Amino acid sequence: MGSSLGAGGRAALGRLALLWALVVPGVQQDLRVAQSSMMVGHAGRAVTMSCRVSRSVDYVHWFRQLEGQAPERLLYLALSKRDVQWDSVLTGDKVNAARGADGQSCTMSLRQLAKSDEGVYYCAAWASVESLWNLNNMIFGDGTKVFVLDKKLPADISPKPTIFLPSINEVNHQQAATYLCLLEKFFPDVIKVSWKEKNGDRILPSQQGNTMKTNDTYMKLSWLTVTENSMKKEHICIVKHDKNAGRKDQEILFPAVKEVFTPVVTTTEPPNDCSKDESEVTDTDFTKTCARDQGKVASSTKACLKDENNTVPLQFTYNSAYYTYLVLLLKSAVYFVITSFCVLRRTGVCCDGTSS
C-alpha cells in the first residue's frame, strides 16, 4: 500500500484537524487568520469570500460546516505554487480558490449557489509544512456565514427599532420600570443587542428574546428592567448589525423614567386650566401635558396627570396591542403548517385512490 492519502483520507484528516483545533487552542500565537464575517448571495449566482493570514504560510485550507452536520474540508491552496487540491466533497466547477497578489491572502468562490450551500465556511492555515502533523499548529478564522436568497430584499435591511416605555402601573406599584426595544425587518439574523446608561461604559444585565424569522427578514425583542435608583437616568439600547448605516452601532435613547412620569400631588388648590379646554391638552404616550403655556411646554418634559386611573387602561391597551401582534404572527405560522399538512395529506389520498 502506498503512503499517500486518498481523497477520503484527506477529508477525514481535515475534519479531525478542525475538531481538534476548536478544542485545543493553537500554540502559534503569532499566526492570525482573518475572514469576512458574512456573505449574502442569490440563488444561481456566485459568492466570493476572503481570507488573510498575518504572515507567510505554505498552505491555506477551506472547510465548511452545514447546519446540523460535522465540518468537512473542501480544498487546500498552496500559496507558493498557486496550486489548488480539491477533496471529494465538491468539484472544481462548484468551488475554487485563488491566491491574492500579496501572497498572504486568498479567496474562495462558490458558484451556482443553492439553499443547500448555506452554512459557515472556515479558512485555516498550518504554521509550516513541517508542522503538518502537529494538529495544535492549525489556526482557524472565525468563519464566514453564507446566506443564499431566492429573491431580492429591500435596499435597507438594517434593524428597524420600535421602543416601548414602562407602564405607570409598574412604576407606581412595583418600584421598577421595564424598557422594551423591538427590532424588525433586518437581515441576516446575526445581531447583538446590549444596554447601558447614557454616558456610561458598563453593559447592564438585560433579557433577550429569540431571533424570529418573519417572511424573508428577522425580528428580535430585548428588554431592560431598572430599579427605582436608576429611574432618573437615561438609558441606551445598543444594536450591532452588519447592515447598519456605515456599519456603526445603532444607539437608541430611552428617556429617564422620572422625566416620563410626574408624581401626582394631592392639593387643596383649585384645579388648573388643564381640565378646562380639551383643545389645549396635548396627549403623550402615558401623560397629558398641560399646554396652557406653550413656551413652558416646549422647554419642559413635566406633565400633569389628569387622572391616573384613566392612564393605566391606556397603557394596558398599548402593551396588549404589542403582544396581540406577536400572537397573531404565531397563529399565522401554525395555520400555515396545518394547511400545508392538509393539502399534502389530501394529495396522498388522491394518489392512493387512483393507483392500481
pLDDT per position as a tens digit, 5-55: 444 444 444 555 555 444 444 444 578 999 988 898 999 999 999 999 998
Cell numbers standing for residue 210: 429569540
What average pLDDT does the segment 231-245 reach? 95
298-340: per-residue pLDDT in tens? 333 333 333 444 444 445 555 555 666 666 677 777 777 787 7
The CA radius of gyration of the chain, in Å to the nearest whole number, is 29
Residue 141 near residue 26, CB atoms below 8 Å = no
pTM above 0.85, yes or no: no
Specify the range with the lowest mean pLDDT, choosing from 84-98, 112-126, 256-270, 308-322. Answer: 308-322
On the question of pLDDT at 213 being above 60, the answer is yes
Q: Looking at residue 317, what is its pLDDT?
A: 52
**Grid cell 435613547 in the structure block, residue:** 253
Q: Looking at residue 29, what is its pLDDT?
A: 53
Looking at per-residue pLDDT, the higher value among 181 and 301 belongs to: 181
Query: Is residue 190 packed enough to be buried (19+ CB in 10 Å), middle (13-18) or exposed (0-12)?
Result: middle
Start-to-end C-alpha separation, the chain = 55
What average pLDDT does the segment 235-249 reach? 94
Domains and CATH numbers, the chain: 7-149 (2.60.40.10), 160-325 (2.60.40.10)
| pLDDT cut 70: percent of the chain above it | 67
